Amino acid sequence: MPSLNRSTSLAQQVADQLRRRIADGEFPVGALLPTEMELTQELGVSRNSVREGLRALVHAGLLGAKAGYGTFVTATSDLAPTLARRMEQDRRADVAEVRLLLEREGARLAATRATEQQIEDLRAALAARLAATDGPGYASADIAFHRLLLEASGNALLAELYRGSGGNEQALLHFHAPGVDFAAARPGLRDVDAAHAAIVAAIAARDPGAAASAAEHMVQLVQEDENDHH
């Protein structure tokens, strides 16, 4: 029993240390963590302790694991996964209002705080959206665009809340479904594409009001499209 208690304590220490390192930005969202063997050597604990510590963070929603790929960061704090679980249970109308607030204020702040590099990254993400030739590619590029937008707000908490809300990912899930004819759906997305371009243009022009208005218009278009698929 003493060894079991010690093992559990070490696993918690591993989880706590990794949680701090993730929060400090050493491992950003999407980053791969070192392997179990590397962490075992680095932290000086057993591989079982490392495995249990990682498992705890996967359960908490901070990490994801994929066979053949590794363990990667899905959130920088417990806030995003906790909020995601809450929003799965709330009314769709409430969730839509929260997403609107996050997008609109994120765009407004980005217009005054985005760095030149962040603006270039937004332009690149916008181009990737427009160049996508299939549904999954379009959805992935769009999700990347919105995450970049919220990061450009300069407010880490706002960006974390956005990730926890699921962003616009649910509205694009139908593009990942088998048999979806993306080519047929593409013309109907022109207004949404134009709204995204307007957001980038307003941010580049350092116009907070125009950026907020463009973001609000974009969210309304996406929500209308989402409603059409329910």
131-167 per-position pLDDT tens digit: 988 877 887 788 889 989 999 999 988 887 887 666 5
For CATH 1.20.120.530, the residue range(s) in the chain are 79-228
Of all residues in the chain, the percent with pLDDT exceeding 70 is: 80
The correct CATH number of 79-228 out of 3.40.50.10480, 3.30.110.40, 1.20.120.530, 1.20.58.220 is 1.20.120.530
CB 22 within 8 A of CB 64: no
Domain 2-73 has CATH 3.40.50.2000: no
Provide the pLDDT confidence category of residue 2 given band limits of 50, 70 and 90: very low
Contacts 24+ apart (CB under 8 A), 172-175: 172/138, 172/139, 172/142, 172/143, 173/139, 174/135, 174/229, 175/135, 175/136, 175/138, 175/139
Contacts 24+ apart (CB under 8 A), 29-37: 29/73, 29/74, 29/75, 29/76, 29/147, 29/163, 30/72, 30/73, 31/72, 31/73, 32/69, 32/70, 32/71, 32/72, 33/63, 33/70, 33/71, 33/72, 33/73, 35/70
What digits encode the pLDDT tens for the residues 208-219? 999 999 999 998
What is the rounded CA–CA span in Å between residue 38 and residue 20? 18
Q: What value does the CA radius of gyration of the chain take, rounded to a whole number of Å?
A: 20
For CATH 1.10.10.10, the residue range(s) in the chain are 2-73
Provide the pLDDT confidence category of residue 226 given band limits of 50, 70 and 90: low
Higher pLDDT, 201 or 158: 201
pLDDT of residue 136: 75
